[in-house]
């Protein structure tokens, strides 16, 4: 047969070849005609709805924890958003209205979600993609209310390419990246939650193909090219060979420079030591963000000094077999806001994102945990494998906080010296996450070795839009002119102060933005391991002078639309 090419949106910059397997979960939205309202007990139906709501919440919490373990904390936040939708006052009011009109619980649920789904569908960009999240919550409730068996997408044969109208985050989180060769969907976008999870799992994915995808039958051989955003059915021998041995986005083990010789470090974001080997396989030069809070989660007590030492050494040793003195940046415990830890008994706050979190906790009520962590880190820095270790403080907003953190490091060093233990002072750095930190980047640079821009939090604080609230999604684009100007200010100020500048937010791992980041003068980019090959290749193809001209053009415009047009 002649190969057929279908275009969509590439969500994961990798290529896979396999056999098409359609995923068609049972349609729970086709409901029977409701009975006479006079025969329906509103009280009984309300109890049914509340029971289903509680069961759905339990499922979501379980899926959140499983996703956190398999993929990462940021991806697991998808399910926090779904929990918010599940208990959204507008949805609950709609259900209550339907029950009051004599509808059975399933019909009341369907009616309550219909308006919000249509509303989101009429929006642009990421907001339109939130309609899929609402459908996921609606269908979960309907499945529970109608006692419909849950489809098992996790049990697929090796080299399967999953085809679907749409995949929900809970569907995608079940997939085994060792068995699934790719994903292709009729609807969806690159910033949809399912696409983010697929990208983190390293599964090739193309979304938003449209109804033409229906023409591919079960059992058809399929190539999923997440780099080009193309799905190829019945590929020719040459197409298949190219897909199985792609020259594009090939792993580049060595450090890279731009076409004109400008060096740029490409590192990995890690949540656990187990992720280090995968990052090395993808060509990571080191670690730009080790989220140490993962060591504190899913347990009943914090890790002690020895356990932390072993975890940090493990990561350093994994990279030291690949690179001489690799830089491994460990972010000290960053909890509070969207990252509670039950056994630490954090006081709930009306807006935790603006409350006591990050370094504020470490310098106050969690000083003991901070000191224990620093003891472990300074001893790791004295080992051969840990020679490139760096320590980064989260959510620093004032010079006073930074100086207090540095004094704590010096104090720990004195303690270790008195105890006769080997230690070394690693590179020290600061996360740039707040508007205040962008204005103090020059002062920070005079006191530490580096700064690293966390674009996810920086965007939410500059835009005054809480990042885990779905209604604020339209404000979460790091290409907002205000955010870009804050990044530019930070880079210039830090360089003037003699510090190097990294970036470890989602923005750093988007190959389409690499040229812009080169032009802005970033020294290091840190990202999910799967995007490292594509970013490295893009760096090699980038001319620094052209990149600087692009950055200057982007910084000169005032709207997001103008930025996107220039890019």
| DSSP string covering 531-561 | GHHHHHHHHHH--HHHHHHHHHHHHT--SHH
In the numeric block, which tokens belong to residue 461?
A: 């604080």
- Is the separation of the CB atoms in 120 and 127 below 8 Å? yes
236, 205: one domain = yes
Of 201, 216, 244, the position where a domain reaches its end is: 244
- Is the separation of the CB atoms in 437 and 444 below 8 Å? yes
291, 394: one domain = yes
300, 396: one domain = yes
207, 284: one domain = no
**Mean pLDDT, 10 residues at a time, over the chain (567 residues)?**
82 87 85 86 92 91 79 73 86 91 92 86 64 85 88 77 86 84 86 77 89 92 88 85 66 92 94 87 94 79 92 94 85 71 56 68 88 97 94 96 97 97 97 95 97 91 72 77 96 97 90 95 92 92 96 95 90
Catalytic residue among 107, 193, 316, 366: 193
In this structure, what CATH number is given to the domain that contains residue 170?
A: 3.50.30.10
94, 162: one domain = no
Catalytic residue among 82, 107, 316, 504: 504
388, 290: one domain = yes
Residue 369's Cβ-side half-sphere holds a number of Cα atoms within 13 Å equal to 23
Catalogue the E-assigned strands of 361-514: 389-393, 427-432, 450-453, 500-503
Residue 350: what pLDDT? 44
**pTM exceeding the 0.75 threshold for the entire prediction:** no
In a domain, 351, yes or no: yes
**Which DSSP letter does residue 339 get?**
B
In a domain, 362, yes or no: yes
- Is the separation of the CB atoms in 99 and 108 below 8 Å? yes
The Cα 544–Cα 536 span in angstroms is 14
In a domain, 77, yes or no: yes
For the chain, how many structural domains are there in total?
Answer: 3
In a domain, 477, yes or no: no
425, 299: one domain = yes
Q: Is 82 a catalytic residue?
A: no
214, 290: one domain = no
In a domain, 487, yes or no: no
In a domain, 469, yes or no: no
| Residue 531 CA from chain centroid, whole number | 12
Of 86, 121, 145, the position where a domain reaches its end is: 145
Structural domain harbouring 229? 4-25+152-244
In this structure, what CATH number is given to the domain that contains residue 410?
A: 3.20.20.60
121, 156: one domain = no
In a domain, 42, yes or no: yes
Residue 351: what pLDDT? 45
In a domain, 408, yes or no: yes
Of 244, 270, 299, the position where a domain reaches its end is: 244
Q: Is 193 a catalytic residue?
A: yes
233, 171: one domain = yes
170, 313: one domain = no
Residue 563: what pLDDT? 92
Residue 124: what pLDDT? 58
**Which DSSP letter does residue 508 get?**
G
Phi, psi (rounded to 5 degrees) for 50: -65, -40
342, 281: one domain = yes
Helices 481-496 and 455-463: crossing angle, nearest 10°? 120
Residue 63: what pLDDT? 82
| Residue 430 CA from chain centroid, whole number | 20
């Amino acid at each position: 047969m002649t190969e057929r090419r279908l275009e969509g949106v590439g969500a994961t910059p990798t290529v896979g070849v396999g056999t098409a397997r359609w995923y068609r979960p049972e349609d729970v939205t086709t409901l029977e005609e409701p009975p006479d309202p006079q025969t329906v007990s509103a009280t009984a139906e309300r109890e049914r709805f509340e029971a289903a709501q509680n069961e759905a919440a339990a499922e979501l919490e379980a899926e959140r924890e499983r996703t956190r373990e398999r993929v990462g904390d940021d991806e697991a936040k998808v399910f926090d958003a779904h929990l918010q939708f599940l208990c959204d006052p507008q949805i609950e009011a709609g259900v209550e209205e339907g029950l009051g009109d004599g509808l059975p619980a399933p019909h009341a649920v369907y009616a309550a979600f219909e308006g919000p789904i249509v509303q989101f569908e009429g929006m642009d960009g990421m907001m339109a993609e939130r309609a899929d999240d609402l459908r996921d919550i609606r269908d979960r409730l309907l499945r529970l209310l109608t006692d419909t068996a849950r489809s098992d997408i996790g049990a697929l044969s090796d080299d399967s390419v999953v085809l679907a109208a749409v995949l929900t985050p809970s569907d995608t989180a079940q997939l085994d990246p060792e068995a699934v060769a790719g994903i292709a969907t009729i609807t969806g976008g690159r910033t949809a939650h399912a696409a983010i999870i697929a990208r983190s799992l390293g599964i090739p994915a193309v979304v938003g193909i449209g109804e033409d995808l229906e023409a591919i039958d079960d059992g058809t051989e399929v190539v999923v090219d997440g780099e080009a955003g193309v799905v190829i059915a019945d590929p020719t021998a040459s197409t298949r060979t190219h897909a199985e041995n792609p020259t594009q986005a090939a792993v580049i083990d060595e450090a890279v420079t731009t076409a004109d010789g400008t060096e740029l470090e490409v590192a990995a974001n890690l949540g656990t030591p187990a992720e280090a080997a995968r990052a090395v396989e993808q060509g990571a030069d080191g670690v730009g963000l080790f989220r140490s809070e993962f060591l504190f989660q899913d347990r009943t007590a914090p890790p002690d000094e020895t356990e932390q030492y072993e975890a940090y050494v493990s990561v350093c040793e994994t990279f030291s077999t690949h690179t001489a003195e690799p830089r491994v940046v460990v972010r000290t415990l960053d909890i509070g806001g969207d990252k509670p830890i039950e056994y630490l008994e954090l006081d709930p706050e009306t807006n935790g994102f603006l409350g006591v979190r990050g370094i504020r906790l470490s310098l106050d009520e969690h000083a003991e945990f901070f000191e224990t962590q620093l003891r472990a880190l300074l001893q790791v820095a004295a080992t051969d494998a840990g020679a490139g270790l760096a320590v980064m403080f989260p959510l620093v907003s004032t010079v006073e906080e930074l100086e207090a953190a540095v004094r704590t490091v010096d104090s720990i060093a004195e303690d270790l010296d008195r105890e006769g233990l080997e230690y070394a002072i690693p590179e020290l750095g600061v996360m740039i996450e707040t508007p205040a930190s962008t204005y103090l980047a020059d002062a920070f640079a005079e006191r530490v070795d580096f700064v690293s821009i966390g674009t996810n939090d920086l965007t939410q604080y500059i835009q005054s839009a809480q990042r885990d609230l779905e209604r604020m999604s339209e404000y979460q684009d790091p290409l907002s002119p205000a955010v870009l100007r804050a990044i530019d200010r930070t880079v210039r100020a830090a360089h003037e102060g003699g510090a190097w500048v990294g970036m470890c937010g989602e923005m750093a791992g988007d190959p389409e933005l690499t040229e812009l980041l080169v032009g802005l003068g970033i020294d290091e980019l840190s990202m999910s391991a799967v995007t490292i090959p594509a970013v490295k290749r893009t760096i090699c193809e980038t001319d620094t002078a052209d990149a600087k001209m692009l950055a200057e053009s982007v910084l000169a415009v005032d709207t997001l639309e103008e930025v996107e047009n220039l890019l």
